[in-house]
Structure 1
């Protein structure tokens, strides 16, 4: 079981890459690196705001796999808004974001905003988890996603990590 105390809050727990097809990319990533298996699902985020509180959305498919202690997310964008966020989801083959579990979502958002890393998309999942993508591209070359270590987030990390235990490479791409 993955517990919140298994993560050093504020450190990278996931690296995400933009791909044009999550299933094909997951099979190739698993073959090339041994990471996996990858669990695929569609994510339709509609309860979101962009910079300045404007309505936002992020319709995407994700393939989640385990690569050592780091979770890998392969992201295929179907639709995104507003323009500032959509523009950050177009560079296939590059790191889209790294994700951090943080102690306080609101405090981390303020810290990043004070650094000039504005939130391009802030949203809440159907499970009630707040998350945000902050724009660190000028300094890091990618976005930084933040969320708190809540039970449903930890359950996702647990499920992905447990699938990798003693995985023999069979069936590298699976539906979630």
Structure 2
């Protein structure tokens, strides 16, 4: 991870809107952009095709993006690996890194003994992976390549945060 700075810290929560609002009130972060039921064309949990219906809130807190993630469907997932379903537990889930070659980084993590907890692709082909580094770090690591759609979104969130006056701290967006 030394070659890749942390770009995002993500928390698993039962309600992304409520979590974003609490974080904003406590730390002044935001604004947060909420995407409901993010569409995935591929979702593999530990190599098995499984649905992963999730919503996320994305905001800025200083130099880092903060993400709150809720899982909308029951069943096994990288989220429930750390926070079992119906346990009521929530907390930090992963940090995200930009990598030059997603497949090569997945292979490197796998070779180091870190299983791929989630491999997913959005409808536009954007892919990401969640690597199980829990035994080593206490959390997972999300990997993705810095493609234009992703870096543009990161830039947008950061620019909105730079102008943020506290008005409308939780907003809705749509990913197709």
Q: Deviations over 1:22-61 (max 9, x none)?
A: 111111100101110100012133412232x321232111
The equivalent residue for 1:3 is none
- State which of 142, 147, 153 in structure 2 corresponds to 1:150: 147
- State which of 43, 47, 50 in structure 1 corresponds to 2:42: 47
Report the 3-state secondary structure (helix = DSSP H, G, I; strand = E; otherwise coil) of the residue aligned with 1:58: coil
Is 2:67 the counterpart of 1:70? no
Is 2:42 the counterpart of 1:21? no
Structure 1: gaps spanning 5 or more residues:
1-7
TM-aligned CA deviation for residue 93 of structure 1:
3.2
Between the aligned partners of 1:166 and 1:23, the Cα distance in structure 2 is 21
Q: Report if aligned partners of 2:60, 2:158 keep a CA contact under 8 Å in 1.
A: yes
Between the aligned partners of 1:127 and 1:84, the Cα distance in structure 2 is 22
Report the 3-state secondary structure (helix = DSSP H, G, I; strand = E; otherwise coil) of the residue aligned with 2:60: strand
Question: TM-score w.r.t. structure 2 length?
Answer: 0.87
Between the aligned partners of 1:134 and 1:34, the Cα distance in structure 2 is 30
TM-aligned CA deviation for residue 20 of structure 1:
1.1
Alignment of 1:90-129 (within 5 A): 90=84, 92-129=89-126
The equivalent residue for 2:130 is 133
Question: TM-score w.r.t. structure 1 length?
Answer: 0.87
The equivalent residue for 1:57 is 51
Structure 2: gaps spanning 5 or more residues:
none
**How many residues are paired up?**
168
The equivalent residue for 2:171 is 174
Distance 1:88 1:44, change over 3 A: farther
